[in-house]
Amino acid sequence: MTTRIRQGTPADLPRALELVKELAEYEKAPLEVENTVEEMLKDGFGAHPVFYLLVAELDGTIEGIAIWYYKYSTWKGKCIFLEDIVVTEKARGKGIGSSLFEAVMLKAKEEKVRRMEWQVLDWNEPAIRFYKKYNANLDSEWLNGKLVFDQLQHFDFNN
């Protein structure tokens, strides 16, 4: 079995979205995926990309992806945020997740970013163990905040 990590292409997006949906299923939120291949094409390969895609091929079949983007810290400067690493259930335990994670780490090193960040659900013990192998700091101090699409669209800016 040969694993190959490479930059994703527009042709990889249908498979990438399948893996995103597989992750949503695993995270008990299958109905939360609203993204489409068309949106991913525009957002990742358009004039102003907002994310980057790595794919992991096992014997020529995409069995894993990593999606990341740049963010900016006013205290530290340029950072990389790893949005997701997904490896198909059947391909787990073959080093694909490590290969993807280390490819993003290498990008962070080459770019001399100040931090590489990601989130992990507090109940996802396999992922927590995975990140601890890298001696990662898993921060319990910060809370995540967000406004979702409907909140943003329906906010009354006049009040």
Name the residues annotated as catalytic: 131
In this structure, what are the phi and psi dihedrals at residue 68, rounded to the nearest 5 degrees? -140, 165
User: Cα(141)–Cα(149) distance, rounded to whole angstroms?
Assistant: 26
Give per-residue burial for 126-139: e unless 16+ CB within 10 Å, then b: ebeebeeeeeeeee
Tokens in use for 152?
A: 């943003």
Q: Where do we find the tokens 């950072």? A: 79
In this structure, what are the phi and psi dihedrals at residue 77, rounded to the nearest 5 degrees? 110, -150
CA angle 93, 95, 97 (to 5 degrees): 95
